[in-house]
Amino acid sequence: MPAKAKHLRNRASNFYAGVKRVIQSFSLRKKAKIADTDSDKENAKASTSPSDVSIDLPSPDSVIDDVFLATSSHAKIDAPGHFPVPYGIPEPEAAEFQQAAAADPQAQDAYARVYDALSAPGRLREAPTIAAATAAVKDLAAALRGESRGASKGYKDPKHDPFVRHRLEGMCTFLNLYIDMRSKTYGHWGASALQASIGLGRGRHCMRTLCKLACQYIHDRSLLLVNPYGDWKESLLADEDIATDINLYLQEIGNDITAEKVSKYLARPEVMEKHGITKTISIRTRGDI
């Protein structure tokens, strides 16, 4: 037999002998464990006999058929009125304490500071969402159009003075550039404001003012008393409505035309309110008209 074959046979014999020893050791342990368990059971039976066991049965009078009428054995134990607070968490305050805290001047001052921080000029210039701007455009269009007269009857004249109408149109143009997907500045707040100001023939001052006006309008639908075009550089007669009303007034008075009469006409409360005139026109200052 070759030497390699003998070597393999010897290794197999050694492995078989080792497995046999392991199996025998486990068998002996199992037998010893079973024997110990049987002896414990016999000892327990011998120590406990039927004569040693006593069972206390309840008396027939103490048994109540209706379990809902039975009284528990711990019925006289009072539940605690206050439980300890775990992990140091304070107990919730009562309603009156919460109302008192709401009426605290310090709490009100803190709320006012937070509100002022949220409504700061820098916050108002932040870009709103597309959804909020879209809703604002619809309201702006309705404000420019006026109230409806009914089915197929058109719309009422909103009677906006030129100043308010210019603001509404500028804001509407700006927001449409911001929300319309066809716009080159779609979703870009500052770029949309710049394009709107260029379309209005203005510059960066108008751009910044349009951003502020639009943010304020989206916030509470109110118009700020801010001129988006800067100081007026044109004559009042450039407004077609004012020029038309002055011409009608001049036709009424005929040939007796004086600067004082025109000044008094423009100082009338209804005329000033209609055309958004905020100050009286001086007779000596021709540049005002």
What per-residue confidence (pLDDT) applies to 192? 95
pTM higher than 0.85 for the full model?
no
| Contacts with 162 (C-beta within 8 Å, 6 or more apart), sequence order | 239, 241, 275, 276
- Alpha-carbon dihedral 220, 223, 228, 230, rounded to 10 degrees: -130
What per-residue confidence (pLDDT) applies to 4? 74
The C-alpha atoms of residue 11 and residue 17 are separated, in whole angstroms, by 10
Q: Is 16 left (phi over 0), alpha (psi -120 to 50) or beta?
A: alpha
* Residue 286 reports pLDDT greater than 80: no
What confidence tens digit (pLDDT) does each residue in 19-78 have? 777 777 766 666 677 777 777 767 666 555 555 555 555 555 554 454 444 444 444 555
Q: Is 93 exposed, middle or buried (0-12, 13-18, 19+ CB in 10 A)?
A: exposed
Residue 88 φ then ψ, to 5°: 70, 20
| Between 182 and 281, the higher pLDDT residue | 182
Which tokens sit at 242? 């004012």
Within 13 Å of residue 96, how many CA atoms lie on the same side as its CB?
Answer: 0
| Between 201 and 277, the higher pLDDT residue | 201
What confidence tens digit (pLDDT) does each residue in 203-213 have? 888 888 888 88
The predicted model gives 111-138 an average pLDDT of 72
Which tokens sit at 152? 């197929």
How far from chain centre, in Å, is Cα 105? 26
Residue 172 φ then ψ, to 5°: -65, -40
